Amino acid sequence: MSVFAYPSEVIREAEVPLLEAGVPLMARAARALANIGIDTLTADLGRVTGTRVCVLAGPGNNAGDALFAAATLGRRGAAVTVIALFDRTHDEGLTAARRSGAQVLAFASTEADDDPTSTEAADPSSDSTRTVPARNGSTRAEALRELSRADLVLDGILGTGGRRGLPGHIASLIAAWAPHRTGNLIAVDVPSDLSPDSDGAETRLHADRTVTFGGLKAELVDPRVHEFTGSIDVIDIGLGLDTGLAVAELLDADDLAADFPRPEASGHKYSRGVVGVLAGSEDYPGAGVLTTTSAVNTGAGMVRYLGSPFVAEFVIGVHPEVVSASGRVNAVIFGPGDPEPEFVQGATEALSDSHIPVVIDAGGLDMVGRAEAMIGTWMAERPIIITPHAGELARMLSRLLGEIITAGRIGQDPVGWARQAAEVTGTIVVLKGHHTVIAAPDGLVVLPEPGPASLATAGSGDVLAGILGTLAAIASAEHRYDGDDSPLPHADWARLAGLGVLVHNAAGQRAVSASGFADALTEVVGELIHGAELISGTD
Ligand SMILES: NC(=O)C1=CN([C@@H]2O[C@H](COP(=O)(O)OP(=O)(O)OC[C@H]3O[C@@H](n4cnc5c(N)ncnc54)[C@H](OP(=O)(O)O)[C@@H]3O)[C@@H](O)[C@H]2O)[C@@H](O)CC1
Ligand SMILES: Nc1ncnc2c1ncn2[C@@H]1O[C@H](COP(=O)(O)OP(=O)(O)O)[C@@H](O)[C@H]1O
């Protein structure tokens, strides 16, 4: 189900009153981390007893989580080694780890950077958290040996208090360990030194799994950091975060099953929503057919075809339920298959008195300007959902920002560019790709789970436009029939677009061509609308 992501500061602020009230947040976090550690070891080796666990311990509370969890693993029979990487660490956590039998290696001195053979070790008899220099062998070599033979390593170096760039002795230890790594690496809360930048990636940790506490941190949802985070577990430690403060929402198939809009028992075709389709041209009639098929099969109350009579003939030939006479619509789709200007002009003039949502795709994207330039035009004061792929967004932003922006640059930071495009244009931006990113002008991002790569085929985007336009018409009609004149918030449109992408993904799993996706929508939407009722036998 949907998961919200928050800036780290929001999560840190939510912790403060609870900590002041004595709520044991770290104990909750460490318990959940230990359980995941136990599950990981049991899944890999069938046991915890006799396994080897290493903790990379930093100077703060992040190390505290890792050390308390390691103490639990130690009590369950794991041989724990703590590699203390700073001249201080979390006092109580280290004490707990020691009491459970952990050995502690101190690899903290900055001189270790200059001399990789420098030797230091903690006094194992001491409960003190200060590390004590010793001259009994190469600690770096010993740390490397322990890391390389560990079944499980916990990255407790830095958490939400971390700044970019690890001290040299740690970065070099990580780079030296990487080729010899055999066990699982779990990042505690956030991977230390997390960055979307691929430069220097070899000196950063690549976790198999990240166990994050309190709420999903915004920096973890950037598609570019997946190689550093691995899979992500969000552990509820009772912070009670306000979803209004979230900056991103992740959607999956469960959200689609829960929130796909079903027809009302007492509804009629107009209350279900009428979608106008302006797609296809003499050059590209197929786009008109694909977009209309998609709208029909997504379950619109009615589909009006607004393009040329030439294309209308094809469309109505396959879908006799489509209407070509003008009349009321609750949303319009513009652009797939470059419809001729006279039909675009006719349709936009008809829109000028309304505030209905519009989905703009393909050729229609050339109409999109900066938000301030759209004031007073037919595009103002209505929700607009635009659906560029990276190439189209690059072209659009180059025009709007007056600098050359390539599709490659968009690909390096899709979330950032989608946000910028949404802010500049005031529209909901659906940046299509393997990881489709949806951004709203207020900065909110919706990330539907990725669909199958088979979606990357000509005409697939036309099908998506048909789905999005239909869902927009359904939402807009429902809102109107509820008697609500207030505009729906951007977040609702962005989420709706996310559901549309998930419908498209589901169709993509059942076919391999665009017309196949459009046809498969009958099955996908039929299951979403009727599935549970058929099973339960209710009407
Ligand atoms: N609050 C709670 O109860 C709960 C918190 N929880 C856990 O606490 C974690 C946050 O803990 P935290 O605030 O202690 O920060 P953390 O990242 O461990 O260390 C900060 C220290 O590192 C230092 N430092 C930073 N960057 C550096 C760099 N690049 N190179 C070198 N040094 C650097 C920094 O130095 P300074 O900035 O002060 O100069 C400071 O001394 C959080 O992620 C979660 O795991 C959970 O248990 C839930 C309950
Ligand atoms: N590798 C991929 N994995 C999953 N979906 C993809 C992938 N590549 C493209 N897609 C999806 O396929 C669709 C392609 O749309 P678009 O580029 O507009 O195609 P067209 O213009 O030919 O209709 C988009 O919904 C996009 O998100």
pLDDT digits 0-9 by tens, 375-395: 999 999 999 999 999 999 999
Residues 383, 354 contacting (CB under 8 angstroms): no
Instruction: Confirm or deny that 389 is annotated as ligand binding.
Output: yes
Residues 335, 461 contacting (CB under 8 angstroms): no
Residues 508, 455 contacting (CB under 8 angstroms): yes
Q: What is the fold, at CATH topology level, of the domain defined by 253-533?
A: UDP-N-acetylmuramoyl-L-alanine:D-glutamate ligase (3.40.1190)
For 122-172, write each residue's pLDDT tens digit: 343 344 344 444 333 489 999 999 999 999 999 999 999 999 999 999 999
For 228-245, write each residue's pLDDT tens digit: 999 999 999 999 999 999
With 0-12 CB in 10 A as exposed, 13-18 as middle and 19+ as buried, what is 457? Answer: middle
d(CA 299, CA 303): 9
pLDDT beyond 50 at 539: no
Strands 445-448 and 437-439 turn out to be antiparallel
- Residue extent(s) of CATH 3.40.1190.20 domains in the chain: 253-533
Name the residue with tokens 């055999």: 182
Nearest to 2 by CA among 219, 253, 236: 253
pLDDT beyond 90 at 482: no
Question: How does the average pLDDT of the chain come out, rounded?
Answer: 92
- Residue extent(s) of CATH 3.40.50.10260 domains in the chain: 3-246
Task: Say yes or no: CB of residue 59 within 6 Å of ligand 1.
Answer: yes
Task: Say yes or no: CB of residue 434 within 6 Å of ligand 2.
Answer: yes
Residue 115 banded pLDDT, cuts 50, 70, 90: very low
Instruction: Confirm or deny that 243 is annotated as ligand binding.
Output: no
Closest C-alpha residue for ligand 2 atom 16: 461
Task: Say yes or no: CB of residue 192 within 6 Å of ligand 1.
Answer: no
Task: Say yes or no: CB of residue 160 within 6 Å of ligand 1.
Answer: yes
Q: Which helix (H) or strand (E) holds 500?
A: helix 490-508
Q: Which residues contact 253 (CB under 8 A, 6 or more apart)?
A: 449, 502, 506
> Minimum-distance ligand to the CA of 24?
1
> Minimum-distance ligand to the CA of 16?
1
> Minimum-distance ligand to the CA of 407?
2
Which of 25, 56, 62 has most ligand 1 atoms within 8 Å of its beta carbon, as the pocket-test mutant?
62
Residue 105 tokens, joined: 């290696």
Compute the average pLDDT of residues 325-345. Answer: 94
Q: Where are the beta strands (DSSP E) in 264-344?
A: 274-278, 302-305, 331-334
Number of Cβ within 10 Å of residue 126's Cβ equals 12
Amino acid at 490: H
End-to-end C-alpha distance for the chain, whole angstroms: 27
CATH code that applies to domain 3-246: 3.40.50.10260
Which of 360, 446, 455 has most ligand 2 atoms within 8 Å of its beta carbon, as the pocket-test mutant?
455
* Nearest atom (ligand 1) to Cα of 189: 45
pLDDT of residue 484: 78
* Nearest atom (ligand 2) to Cα of 462: 23
Buried b (16+ CB within 10 A) or exposed e, 98-121: bebebbbbbbbbeebeeeeebbbb
CA dihedral 79, 85, 91, 97 (to 10 degrees): 0
Task: Say yes or no: CB of residue 87 within 6 Å of ligand 1.
Answer: no
Task: Say yes or no: CB of residue 459 within 6 Å of ligand 2.
Answer: yes
Nearest to 96 by CA among 131, 63, 71, 129: 71
pLDDT of residue 1: 84
> Minimum-distance ligand to the CA of 337?
2
Which of 20, 91, 158, 195 has most ligand 1 atoms within 8 Å of its beta carbon, as the pocket-test mutant?
158
Task: Say yes or no: CB of residue 451 within 6 Å of ligand 2.
Answer: yes
Residue 532 banded pLDDT, cuts 50, 70, 90: low
Instruction: Confirm or deny that 77 is annotated as ligand binding.
Output: no
**Over the Cα atoms of the chain, what is R_g?**
28
Distance 457 CA to ligand 2 centre (A): 7
Nearest to 347 by CA among 309, 381, 379, 306: 306
Residues 266, 286 contacting (CB under 8 angstroms): no
Which of 284, 334, 359, 389 has most ligand 2 atoms within 8 Å of its beta carbon, as the pocket-test mutant?
389
Distance 359 CA to ligand 1 centre (A): 44
d(CA 500, CA 438): 11
CA 286 to chain centre: 33
Amino acid at 381: E
Instruction: Confirm or deny that 159 is annotated as ligand binding.
Output: no
Listed range (134-143, 251-260, 475-484) with the worst mean pLDDT: 134-143
Task: Say yes or no: CB of residue 165 within 6 Å of ligand 1.
Answer: yes
Closest C-alpha residue for ligand 1 atom 46: 26
Listed range (17-26, 302-311, 524-533) with the worst mean pLDDT: 524-533
Number of Cβ within 10 Å of residue 435's Cβ equals 17
Query: What DSSP designation does 443 have?
Result: S
Q: Which helix (H) or strand (E) holds 217?
A: strand 216-217
* Nearest atom (ligand 1) to Cα of 160: 43
CA dihedral 399, 400, 403, 408 (to 10 degrees): -80
The edge-to-edge listing of strands for the beta sheet with 231-235 is: 103-106, 79-84, 52-57, 152-156, 184-188, 209-213, 231-235
Task: Say yes or no: CB of residue 460 within 6 Å of ligand 2.
Answer: yes
Distance 88 CA to ligand 1 centre (A): 12
* Nearest atom (ligand 2) to Cα of 361: 18
Complex ipTM over 0.85: yes
pLDDT of residue 483: 78
Helix 8-20 and helix 25-45, axial crossing angle in degrees, nearest 10: 120
